[in-house]
Structure 1
């Protein structure tokens, strides 16, 4: 089985390595962001809210710092809005926190609004129009939904012809479109707000990230020994046809181990522990 090496993309500046990484992501423009706190959260013992720092590294290496006031999410998701603000969301909700689950911050780090998108967030990704795509895991039957940055539901997978949508294993957001590969049947699904949902039958099981470029697709991850699998495939009219299978490694050779993944168009971004560096696989290259 051949190996494909990731390419270095962005690094958290060393001056911030003593902080705890609460969340990290790569936005739709390719900028990397880290949400930092002075220490790791303590289950049931933290005093909320707390102040946090977002360190952003833009393509080309420019670093930007944004201090966020009164963050309420103990186990957060993070992404950036096109206007320079940020969205921070708690992956789990408790009854008394539900209305404040998602916080929207302006470019000065001040909260401007809050709303709820529902419990059990697996993925939260902002698209190029500033809408928030949320994919849920199996403790919430909501599936996949798209929200405005003010909390208005603008698209839902309810009623869409997506077989076996119990857990949004993989979600890719680029431009205003999204691609998903949900458990249990793992179809490849194209979601565009202005078009009907398209679905391709798929035999690649358990992928945690997907990249799409024209008629080509790559799936990353899987079960057990296929955890680091990189499966290439081509789209036909109705199905995904595998063409090649290999392994995705870090740029210097080892397998990633514990990692975060983000899908953006033709790219899959991977961040391995200790979560200070993002690396990238680009299907288009």
Structure 2
């Protein structure tokens, strides 16, 4: 699932059992899979078809059917109804596919390796956030366009041309992994490990940033003055916090205004799971938790929740 520019949900489904294929990979310690097994995720996906839909809260609108091709995908959408599907792992290959609303393949793009987040802003710029493996695997390609301290995220034009982003000030700390990202009208906001600063990235412009003491953030919504930040470690994974962004984004610290609990479900550890893992993973992962502009979205147990920053600010009697 993804949140589309108009605030609706974009969904990608497939006619093959990818969940089962990934489960078999996770069971390899006790049930080894041969390297050439047709039950592995890649050969399963190679024979699959993807179907796209848009859900506006009332109606499920049918979209195109396209080849699945790869087993680990991120989805995004453009304002005019185009779709972007990207394999999360690329190496030196193209991994993004741009589709017309009717499913015609328009272009193949190289969006970098180790993709964690994918989004399209209102100027049709593609924003990509990488997990930690991207630090090394993307560096050769990024060196001319992005400062090393900002290598956790990048911006592309709709034709795949990389646009300059950064640098991020050294004072923001070491950046190793995009833990949360949202796209807004004029760029992207990211919250990276290790110190979880809140960064406002804009193509060709200086990075704005705020210090943040809330660790383990996994989703952001912002109107530029306030932000809703979700997530944390262990029990705080169900946290939703409203913070104020003071100053001009020159390293000021965010001000915590209030916090609530997301309606997550307690996780039941599988048999034989290590106690240390069970202690860390307290909640079941929701189908979606993501921000888009000033709205925060959660899909949990087939219920679509959304919260607007202005409503939270108003409820606290602030302006």
**Same fold judged by TM-score > 0.5?**
yes
Between the aligned partners of 2:190 and 2:91, the Cα distance in structure 1 is 27
1:233-248 matches, within 5 Å, as: 233-237=243-247, 238-248=252-262
**1:266 paired residue number:** 294
Between the aligned partners of 2:3 and 2:13, the Cα distance in structure 1 is 15
**1:160 paired residue number:** 168
Matched, 1:87 2:90: no
Q: Residue 109 of structure 1: CA displacement?
A: 0.4
Between the aligned partners of 1:94 and 1:215, the Cα distance in structure 2 is 38
List 4+ stretches of structure 1 deviating above 3 A: none
Q: Residue 175 of structure 1: CA displacement?
A: 1.3
**1:150 paired residue number:** 159
Between the aligned partners of 1:28 and 1:189, the Cα distance in structure 2 is 21
Would the aligned equivalents of 2:226 and 2:244 in 1 still touch at CA under 8 Å? Answer: yes
Count residues with an aligned counterpart: 252
1:125-274 matches, within 5 Å, as: 125-141=119-135, 142-157=151-166, 159-161=167-169, 162-193=172-203, 195-237=205-247, 238-249=252-263, 257-259=284-286, 260-272=288-300
- Please give the per-residue CA displacement for 1:216-267, whole angstroms capped at 9, x wherever unaligned: 22210001110101122222231112122321226xxx57731222211221
Would the aligned equivalents of 2:72 and 2:87 in 1 still touch at CA under 8 Å? Answer: yes
The 1:47–1:80 alpha-carbon spacing in structure 2 relative to 1, beyond 3 Å, is: closer
TM (norm. structure 2) is: 0.73
TM (norm. structure 1) is: 0.81
Would the aligned equivalents of 1:217 and 1:232 in 2 still touch at CA under 8 Å? Answer: yes
Between the aligned partners of 2:65 and 2:91, the Cα distance in structure 1 is 22
Q: Which structure has more RCO (C-alpha within 8 Å, separation ≥ 6)?
A: 1
| Higher helix content, 1 or 2 | 2
Q: Residue 176 of structure 1: CA displacement?
A: 2.5
| Higher strand content, 1 or 2 | 1
Cα RMSD of the aligned pairs, angstroms, is: 2.0
- Please give the per-residue CA displacement for 1:184-238, whole angstroms capped at 9, x wherever unaligned: 0111111222531111111111110122234222210001110101122222231
5+ residue gaps, structure 2, are 22-40, 136-150, 267-282, 312-319
5+ residue gaps, structure 1, are 1-23
